[in-house]
Amino acid sequence: MLTALRRKIRFGMQRTVLIAVLLAVGIFSYAFLNLKFCFKLMSHRSLNLMCQKFEKHEYSGSLCEELCGSQSSFDNFQCPLNDMKTILFTAEKNGDLYAVKLARHNDDELSWTNNKGESIYPKLEEFHEIVKLHIILAYNVTLDDNMIRALVNQEIADDNSQQMVSFWRLFKDNNYMMGKLFDEESIFPAVLGSCGPYYATEGLEIVQSNPSIMQYLASNRVQRLKHALNIMEYIFRLDEMKPEPLKMCKMQVNRFGTASERRLKYQSAEHVYVESQLDKRLSRGVKCHAHQDCHFHSCRGLCDEEKQSCTHIQQNNNFQIFCEHILLGGGTFQPGLLSGVRLSKALQKLVKMCVQPPKEHQVPGRQWAPNTQLALRLYNELKQLHQAAAASAGSEIPDEGQARRGV
């Protein structure tokens, strides 16, 4: 009888645990399906914390007043549709979508300690110089004093070290800085305001959702080919950036989107770097035993077998990453844009050469980087395929000008 009682108690406990787990799964599933409920459950705390810091004068910035003021014009707060690692929540203002993000924490202290053990912070003008030097070293961009003041927005009180620390966190965040420095080029979402380490960017309408096996059954071949061409044009723009090209170490098809002006942008610049800084990162002498030890996400380094250290610059480029991860994808369950599309032998060969370029089509000093001539040939072949597919589907193709020259 005692054994039966123990069995009954154990069964009851197991059933209780199972019900609790199912209930938790149900709540979180509903949260992700209902984005407004998701915000209340997961993201509302961030907004409350931001406003509390603003009321205590620890945070400053135009976004504080817009989100926390009694006359706030924001509504329709929701969890993001994707990229929840970067975006805390979205909201609408006058019909425009805002994506609110939080700058990454950094360990680069802004203060120093005097002989009394007190933390000393720079004066505002000194802070301007620190920011200016950081931008030169990290982005190879030189800004004059007026531009630095505009970047800081003059929203930091002279005696408020907490506001200065939160702004320093912003300036050390690559995603925020790329959006500010390359705002006129419209390659990343425009930064619309900040509040301490929080900042808002324009929301993007994602062009292609996360690929799945259902793509093989979809009849969206024309749209996928068009999207591939648009991404290639985006990469051409990155290579033409001044003072030097920008390199993407993560490239995901479901991060490309458009804003109000319909120009293609990439949702997150977290893993985008100027060429010189990426080359320094990959060749700084880290110990290695294989080439993979020198890679940074999709950006490939090279291991010196004799020195057993990473001493070479980036060996691939944006086009190689595009061909491998966007066009081909990661296999059956992570198809690329060309998965399920019938390709000519010539186009198949070009894609293969783009992923593993032969010596005559390599960028000098970068053995896995296809050169511009090969990229142009691939672009023009994809354009012809898109036009043929659109004609076959009965779509009208607007006059987009001549194919890119240079082949």
Query: How many C-beta neighbours within 10 Å does residue 118 have?
Result: 9
pLDDT 10s digits, 5-32? 555 556 556 566 555 555 555 444 444 4
Residue 85 above 60 pLDDT? yes
Query: What mean pLDDT is predicted for residues 307-314?
Result: 95
Q: What pLDDT was estimated at residue 392?
A: 85
HEC string for 66-99: HHHCCCCCEEEEECCCCCCCCEEEEEEECCEEEE
Domains of the chain: 110-190 (no CATH), 210-392 (1.10.510)
pLDDT 10s digits, 249-304? 999 999 999 987 789 999 999 999 999 999 999 999 999 999 999 999 999 999 99
Q: What pLDDT was estimated at residue 284?
A: 94
Confidence of residue 400 (pLDDT cuts 50, 70, 90): very low
Average pLDDT, the chain: 84
pLDDT 10s digits, 112-140? 888 888 888 888 888 889 999 999 999 99
The percent of residues in the chain predicted with pLDDT above 90, rounded, is 51
Query: What mean pLDDT is predicted for residues 319-340?
Result: 89
Residue 226 above 60 pLDDT? yes
Query: What mean pLDDT is predicted for residues 137-156?
Result: 80
Query: How many C-beta neighbours within 10 Å does residue 58 have?
Result: 15
Backbone angles phi, psi at 191, to 5 degrees: -80, 125
Nearest to 56 by CA among 223, 236, 196: 196
Confidence of residue 397 (pLDDT cuts 50, 70, 90): very low
| E strand or H helix that includes residue 9 | helix 2-33
Confidence of residue 213 (pLDDT cuts 50, 70, 90): low
Backbone angles phi, psi at 91, to 5 degrees: -155, 160
Q: What angle do CA 325, 334, 216 make, to 5 degrees?
A: 115
Q: CA–CA distance from 25 to each of 20, 32, 35, 83, 120 (Å)?
A: 9, 11, 16, 21, 48
Confidence of residue 322 (pLDDT cuts 50, 70, 90): very high
CA–CA separation, 257 and 95 (whole Å): 18
Residue 240 above 90 pLDDT? yes
Query: What mean pLDDT is predicted for residues 208-228?
Result: 75
Q: Which residue has the tokens 């369950």?
A: 333
Q: What pLDDT was estimated at residue 407?
A: 39
Nearest to 204 by CA among 192, 222, 190: 190
pTM (predicted TM-score) = 0.84
Q: What pLDDT was estimated at residue 303?
A: 96
Q: What pLDDT was estimated at residue 188?
A: 96
| E strand or H helix that includes residue 382 | helix 372-392
Q: What pLDDT was estimated at residue 396?
A: 46
Q: What pLDDT was estimated at residue 9?
A: 58
